[in-house]
Structure 1
Amino acid sequence: MNKPAGRLHFLDAIRAFAILMMLQGHFVHALLEDVSRNKNNLIYSIWEYMRGMTAPTFFTITGFIFTYLLIKQKTSGLENPRVIKGVKRAVKVIFWGYLLRLSLFALAEGTLNPSFFYVDVLQCIGTSLLLLIGVYLISCRTNQCAFKYGVLGIGIIVFLLQPIYNTCVLAYLPDTIANYFTNKNGSVFTLFPWFGYVCFGSFIATMFLKYKDHKMFYVYGILISLCLGVFLMYYSSAVLMDIYHFTKVGVFKAVAYNNFLFIRLGNVFVLFSVFMLLRNYLKHPLINKIGGKTLSIYIIHFFVLYGSWFGLGLSRFFYHDLSPVEAVIGALLFMIGICALVLNYYRYEDDIKTKVYPLWEQAYAKVTSNPYFLDLISGVKSNLVRTFRFFKHALKG
Structure 2
Amino acid sequence: MVANVEAPVVPAQTRVLGLDAARALATFAMVIGHTADGLLSDAARELPWVKTYWSFRGLTAPLFLFVAGWAVVASVQRDGKTGWALIKARAGRVALLFALGIALRWPGWNVSGVFTFDREVWRHLTGFDALHAVGGSLLLGVLLFSVVRTPRARTAALFAAGAFFPLVSTAVWVWAETMPAPLTLHSALVGDGESPFPLFPWAGYFFCGALTGQVLSFVPKQASRTVALIATGAACVALCAAVGLRDLTQTSPTLFFYRLGQVWIVVGTLSALPMSAAVWLSPLGRSSLVMYVAHLPIVYGWSTIPGLSGRYGRVLSPLQVIAVAAVLLLFGFTLARLLRRAKKWLRARATLPRRETPDINAGAVS
Q: Do both share a fold (TM > 0.5)?
A: yes
- C-alpha contact 1:124 1:189 (8 A) present in aligned 2: yes
Describe the shift of the 1:224–1:350 C-alpha distance in structure 2 as closer, same or farther (beyond 3 A): closer
- Kept in 2, the 8 Å contact 1:10–1:282? The answer is no
Matched, 1:227 2:235: no
The corresponding residue for 1:67 is 73
CA deviation digits over 1:144-179, x for unaligned, max 9? Answer: 322211111221132223343344525511322201
Displacement, 1:257? 7.8
Q: Match for residue 155 of structure 2?
A: 148
Provide the residue aligned with 1:267 in structure 2: 262
1:262 Cα deviation after fit: 0.7
Q: CA deviation at 1:310?
A: 3.7
Task: Give 2:38's aligned residue.
Answer: 30
Q: In the superposition, relative to structure 1, how do residues 319 and 166 fare at CA in structure 2: closer, same or farther (>3 Å)? A: farther
Tell me, which stretches of 5 or more residues in structure 1 are unaligned? 242-252, 354-397
For residue 315 of structure 1, what is the aligned residue in structure 2? Answer: 309
- 8 Å CA contact 1:162, 1:255 repeated in 2: no
Instruction: Determine the structure 1 residue equivalent to 2:202.
Output: 194
Cα RMSD for the two superposed structures: 2.9
Counterpart residue identity of residue 34, structure 1 = D
8 A contact 2:201–2:251 mirrored in 1: no
Distance change (3 Å), C-alpha of 1:89 and 1:344:
closer
- The offset of 1:308, in angstroms, is 1.9
Query: Within 5 A, what are the aligned runs for 1:1-397?
Result: 6-38=14-46, 41-78=47-84, 81-107=85-111, 113=121, 114-140=123-149, 143-168=150-175, 169-170=177-178, 172-184=180-192, 186-211=194-219, 214=220, 217-238=221-242, 259-285=254-280, 287-347=281-341
Alignment partner of 1:179: what SS? helix
Q: C-alpha displacement at 1:254, in angstroms?
A: 9.0
Alignment partner of 1:13: what SS? helix
- Following superposition, the deviation at residue 28 of structure 1 comes to 0.5
Counterpart of 1:188 in 2: which secondary structure? coil
Q: CA deviation at 1:256?
A: 12
Residue 244 (structure 1) aligns with: none
Cα distance change of structure 1 residues 283 and 198 upon mapping to structure 2, 3 Å threshold: closer
With over 3 angstroms needed to count, the CA separation of the structure-2 counterparts of 1:220 and 1:91, relative to structure 1, is same
Q: Distance in 2 between matches of 1:82 and 1:282?
A: 31
Measure the CA separation in 2 of the matches of 1:167 and 1:37: 34
Q: Percent identity?
A: 22
Cα shift readout 1:109-152 (whole Å, capped 9, x = no counterpart): 75574522211111111111111122223323xx4322211111
State how far apart, in whole Å, the 2-side matches of 1:202 and 1:256 are. Answer: 21
- Once residues 87 and 119 of structure 1 are traced to their aligned partners in structure 2, the CA distance between those partners, rounded to angstroms, is 19
Q: Counterpart amino acid of 1:57?
A: L
1:186 is paired with a residue of what secondary structure? coil
- SS of 2:316's equivalent? coil
Distance apart, 1:299 and its partner CA: 1.2
CA contact (8 A) 1:160 1:255 kept: no
CA distance in 2, matches of 1:258, 1:292: 31
Q: CA deviation at 1:266?
A: 0.9
Change in 2 beyond 3 A, CA 1:74/1:184? closer
Runs ≥4 residues deviating over 4 A: 108-112, 253-258, 347-353
Q: Normalized against structure 2, the TM-score is what?
A: 0.79
Structure 1 residues 254 and 184 mapped into 2: Cα distance closer, same or farther (>3 Å)? closer
TM-score, scaled relative to structure 1:
0.74
What is the CA–CA distance in structure 1 between the aligned matches of 2:234 and 2:285, rounded to whole Å?
Answer: 26
What is the Cα deviation at residue 231 of structure 1?
0.6
Aligned to 1:394: none
Return the alpha-carbon distance in structure 2 between the equivalents of residues 182 and 255 of structure 1: 10
Whether the 8 Å CA contact 1:158–1:196 is kept in 2: the answer is yes
Return closer, same or farther for 1:237/1:157 CA change in 2, 3 Å cut-off. farther
How far 1:5 sits from its partner (Å)? 5.0
Secondary structure of residue in 2 paired with 1:259: helix
CA deviation vs aligned residue, 1:269-327 (integer Å, no higher than 9, x gap):
11111111113341444x22221122111111122222223433212112333333432
Gaps of 5+ in 2: 1-11, 348-366
Change in Cα spacing, 1:254 to 1:24, as seen in structure 2 (3 Å) is closer
What are the Cα deviations for residues 331-386 of structure 1, in whole angstroms up to 9, with x where unaligned?
Answer: 23332333233334544667899xxxxxxxxxxxxxxxxxxxxxxxxxxxxxxxxx
Distance 2:296 2:125 in 1: 14
Output the amino acid matched with 2:143: G
Distance 1:274 1:37 in 2: 28
> What amino acid is aligned across from residue 276 of structure 1 in structure 2?
S
